[in-house]
């Protein structure tokens, strides 16, 4: 079985990205707004491991 990604829900996506960058992860896609769920999604990679975070989006 191949896992595509591991997802985490975080309260502050900017803080989460900064923390994972300190661990060696790199942003691998532009930030995505999922309007249906009202969250931002950010993919990051460390070697061949992909991570995804969602944070509350403020939609006007």
Tell me the per-residue pLDDT of 28-50, one tens digit each, with 9 for 90 and over. 899 999 999 888 899 988 876 66
Q: Which two tokens stand for residue 36?
A: 């249906």
Is the separation of the CB atoms in 41 and 35 below 8 Å?
Answer: no
The residue extents of the domains of the chain are: 6-56
| Mean pLDDT of the chain, nearest integer | 81
Which option is the CATH number for 6-56: 3.10.180.10, 3.40.50.720, 3.50.50.60, 3.40.1130.10? 3.10.180.10
Q: What is the pTM of this model?
A: 0.70
- What does the alpha-carbon distance between residue 17 and residue 3 come to, in Å, rounded to a whole number? 21
Share of the chain above pLDDT 70, in %: 77
Dihedral, CA atoms, 2, 55, 37, 41, nearest 10 degrees? -40
End-to-end Cα distance, the chain: 40
Is the separation of the CB atoms in 52 and 6 below 8 Å?
Answer: yes
């Amino acid at each position: 079985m191949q896992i595509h990604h591991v997802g985490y829900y975080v309260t502050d996506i900017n803080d989460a990205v900064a923390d994972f960058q300190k661990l060696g992860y790199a942003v691998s896609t532009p930030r995505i707004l999922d309007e249906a769920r009202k969250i931002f999604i950010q993919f990051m990679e460390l070697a061949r491991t992909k991570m995804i975070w969602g944070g509350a989006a403020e939609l006007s």
